[in-house]
Homo-oligomer: A and B are copies of this chain.
Amino acid sequence: MDLTPREELDRRIAALQERMGTLSWDAVLIMLRADLFYFAGTAQNGVLVIPAEGDPILLIQKSVTRARQESPLDHIHPMRSISRFGETLSGIREMRFGTVGLEMDVVPAAVYLRLARQYPDTTWVDASVPVRELRMVKSSHEILRMRNAAAQLREMFDRVPEFLGVGIRELDVSVRLEAMLRKLGHQGTIRMHKWNSDSHYGPVSSGPTALYPHAFDGPVGTQGLYAAVPQGAGIRKIRPNEPVMIDFVSGYGGYHIDETRIYSLGPVAPELLEAHEFALTILRRIEDRLTPGALCSDIYEEIATDVNDHPLAPYFMGHGDNRVRFLGHGVGLELDELPVIAPRFEIALQPGMTIAVEPKVFLPDLGGVGVENTYLITEGGFEKLTTNPEEITIC
């Protein structure tokens, strides 16, 4: 098992405590699996209590044994249920609970109300933004895991031409890719921060499928197999001379990488080629701005101004309901991390951020083209973690 070193956790907890000091919060309660793993090194069920000062206390519902194996933290105790949280905690340490942070955008209302009843005088605040802002900047320990996740996709995308063929279903392509990733150590599930989101590796969208409307907050159209689970590959058979857009997510040690490449069986229509070149031009312009200090909102506005003058503007970043107002998003323990390259995200790029950038163009009746890379922001600018060829691969 891949364990997180104590120094790594201490640094993260200290950084949150510093932020809590500024905000005058007394404690933050961490419950979301991705955040538990980030601060405690274990994703077992429970609550990590981080006080403004002093050691954190990890209260575990299941499994205490495993939490103790995985987490190097000193104070790990069993807890029967959230209804016993206050009682369990006060049996361990007296703690000031004047203002307490909770991951309010994901913790269910019933859990929040159950906690609020136990602490009638506490002011509850949303800790999600501070936590997500901390998690934006990856340590070298995390970057190593993201490199391993990138290697999964590098091999997967390289091998697409081995089996892509006329008449096979999108689903069959997806199954091959899913199996390849899993054999390479993909963890199976994809974590989304946004409540009520589904994601299963990502879409394989052939021709017009890339314009099919769906619930996911991304530009790539996808039909899926059922109305009940409207995501991922459908059963459309792949035809010659159309773009097959593969937008896949890998997973190693909890960390994701997001990458999109286009394949076709024989050359695609010239309009699609032109649109793909346009997307690559935009990608280069975004890359020129990927440098510490650049504001995400500025990058978005500058690129939007460039794009607006172009005849392909109406087809950029999604068709119809799928149109999105972002160019990229952070990626790490969750697929939808901060920062977002979008209006109003006045967040300055910093070394250690990992951002998926995805300029894409969708032409009615023809399909989707473009590229998505995940970048690591460095002192000097960026390093591209997804290094497969960016041109359309003609098989």
Chain A residues in the interface with B (C-beta under 8 A): 1-4, 31-34, 37, 41-45, 62-66, 70, 102, 104-113, 124, 126, 128, 171-172, 174-176, 178-179, 182-183, 185, 187-189, 195-196, 198-201, 212-217, 223-232, 251-255, 320-322, 333
Contact = CB atoms under 8 A, between A and B. Distances in A.
Of A32, A41, A187, A251, the most chain B CB neighbours within 10 A belong to A187
Contact of A178 (B34, B182, B215): B182
Nearest to A40: B227
21 contacts: A2-B227, A31-B196, A33-B196, A33-B198, A43-B215, A43-B230, A45-B196, A45-B215, A64-B321, A102-B109, A106-B108, A106-B195, A109-B111, A109-B124, A172-B183, A187-B224, A187-B229, A188-B232, A189-B198, A189-B200, A228-B333
Contact of A44 (B200, B215, B253, B254): B215
Taking the full assembly, how many copies of this chain does it contain? 2
A44 B4 CA distance: 38
Contacts of A112: 109, 112
A229 B227 CA distance: 28
Given A63-B215, A321-B63, A43 B104 contact: no
A321 B65 contact: yes
A213 B63 contact: yes
Nearest to A112: B109
Given A183-B175, A321-B63, A42 B195 contact: no
Contacts of A320: 63, 65
A61 to B, nearest CB: 8
A256 to B, nearest CB: 11
Given A65-B321, A111-B109, A179-B175, A44 B230 contact: yes
Given A104-B110, A189-B198, 8 more contacts: A1-B227, A33-B196, A41-B227, A62-B216, A62-B321, A107-B195, A108-B195, A109-B112
A164 to B, nearest CB: 16
Contacts of A213: 62-63, 65-66
A37 B227 contact: yes
